[in-house]
Amino acid sequence: MRANSGRSAVAALFLFLASGAQAVADETFARQPLNIVGDGGKVHEFSVELAVTPRQRERGLMERREMASDHGMLFAFGETRQVLMWMKNTYIPLDMLFIAKNGHIVTIKENAEPLSEAIIDSKVPVDFVLEVNGGTVKALHIKTGHQIESDLIKEMQTKGQ
């Protein structure tokens, strides 16, 4: 009887984990264009997935093995606050751009280490975080003060967030 109980428990655990993994895999993200406006008005165009719900923000780019060079993910928190991120279960290095309500980049973390559980701190209250491939900030000369333009940011600004 004990052996059967153990097998049943293992089978139940397997089914639970499999259903959870499927739910995570089924998570979908809307996509929209986003521009980073740099020095001299130079515009860098991206296509970003939107992480706006708690579940989407928790999932983020976890389990991804690659991402196109002009893609990313924009996290919207629905309020201005200090944000803490990490790279748990994230396989690609990322640059994180912490963005104020007005769309200006206020903090940058370059080349966040894949699979790390180290906390990445916005250091100041922000409303958004943009994650792009590691090395993008350096390659495109992105700096604090540069402007992020997206429909989601405009929408949140007009809502009087």
Q: Nearest Cα to 91, choosing from 120, 121, 60? A: 60
Condensed to tens digits (0 to 9), the pLDDT of residues 10-51 reads: 444 344 444 444 344 446 899 999 999 999 999 999 999 999
All structural domains of the chain with their residue ranges? 29-158
- pLDDT per position as a tens digit, 53-68: 999 999 999 999 999 9
pLDDT in tens, 145-161: 999 999 999 999 888 64
Per-residue confidence (pLDDT) for residue 158, from 0 to 100:
86
pLDDT in tens, 102-148: 999 999 999 999 999 999 999 999 999 999 999 999 999 999 999 99
Among the listed residues 104, 152, 146, 100, the one whose alpha carbon sits nearest the alpha carbon of residue 125: 100
Determine how β-strand 120-121 pairs with β-strand 84-85.
Answer: antiparallel
- 159 C-beta neighbours (distance < 10 Å), count: 8
Its pTM stands at 0.83
Write down the pLDDT at residue 16: 42
Tokens representing residue 106 in the block: 């206020």
Query: What are the pLDDT digits (tens) for 75-105?
Result: 999 999 999 999 999 999 999 999 999 999 9
Q: Which residue has the higher pLDDT, 3 or 110?
A: 110
8 Å CB contact between 106 and 99: yes
Top CATH class of 29-158 equals mainly beta
8 A C-beta contact, residue 23 and residue 119: no
| pLDDT on residue 47 | 98
pLDDT of residue 20: 45
